[in-house]
Amino acid sequence: MGDTDSLPTRPSTEGAAILQIAQELSTRIQPAGPEVQSIVWAEKNRRRVLALDDHPTFRRGTLFVSKSVEGKLDSGDWRALLAASIIYDSRLRLRRRLARAASNLGIVLVILAAYIVLTVFLSNLGPSMSSFSARQWGGPTLALFVGGISLPLVLIGPYMRHLGYLADRMTAEEFGLGGLLLAALRKIEALGLGNDPYQTGRLAQIPSVTDRIQKLSKDIKT
């Protein structure tokens, strides 16, 4: 993605309307947060994704929205999507940071434990220990090391996706936008969007649009 892809430009009529909605919602949801001053229609590539199709993001006063949905949603759709994103980015920010910190700490502890185990193992490796025995013990130790590092990443994914669902439920309960949000997500799904690789799989930390629809449908009915 070139530098021009991430630079704010003069918003189009649609962009100006979305920006106005974002400013209004930001004032209501996070009054102490940074003011939303500009909007960027962000294109996706393999190196960097600034915004997912169903998940606009906010960075330092700039609203990033996926160019894939430009001209395909109405003001009600944007109001619901932006409300959920603002709640996720602001009210749930501390929980997301704590979860990432816990995951990083888990990885560090696993590496430390593996280092200690390997050190003890190698220190007790006497002349009578054959190279086959060394490989026999080294394999399980390496598997434990790799598995231990992967475990925190596997565990954090479901929790982070849970926070995404929580933002949707808060949007429905606190702002009465559940129906609009569900309609917007269904529009995006009908366009064949919202199920990027970043949103699928056990390690995904943001739910796919299909999963959001299924979870929100249940939450609205209960």
pLDDT digits (tens, 9 = 90+) for 182-215: 999 999 999 998 877 777 777 778 899 999 999 9
**pLDDT value of position 47:** 64
pLDDT digits (tens, 9 = 90+) for 171-180: 999 999 999 9
| Distance from the Cα of residue 72 to its chain's centroid | 23
pTM: 0.76
pLDDT digits (tens, 9 = 90+) for 32-71: 777 888 999 988 766 667 788 999 999 888 999 999 999 9
Nearest Cα residue to 214 out of 177, 182, 179, 178:
182
User: What is the rounded distance in angstroms from the CA atom of residue 101 to the CA atom of residue 199?
Assistant: 21
Q: Is the pLDDT of residue 18 over 70?
A: yes
Residue 53 belongs to what H/E stretch?
Answer: none
User: What is the rounded distance in angstroms from the CA atom of residue 189 to the CA atom of residue 77?
Assistant: 13
The CATH number given to 3-90 is: 3.30.2010
**pLDDT value of position 16:** 92
Reported as a pLDDT band with limits 50, 70 and 90, residue 7 is very low
Instruction: Decide if 62 contacts 48 (C-beta within 8 A).
Output: no
**pLDDT value of position 132:** 46
User: What is the rounded distance in angstroms from the CA atom of residue 27 to the CA atom of residue 15?
Assistant: 18
Highest mean pLDDT among 6-20, 45-59, 75-89, 196-210: 75-89
Alpha-carbon dihedral sign for residues 132, 136, 138, 142 = positive
Annotated domain spans of the chain: 3-90, 93-221
Q: Is the pLDDT of residue 127 over 90?
A: no
Neighbours of 65 (CB within 10 A): 28
Starting at the edge strand that comes first in sequence, how are the strands of the sheet with 38-42 ordered? 38-42, 62-66, 57-59
Across 35-183, the runs of DSSP E, i.e. the strands, are: 38-42, 57-59, 62-66
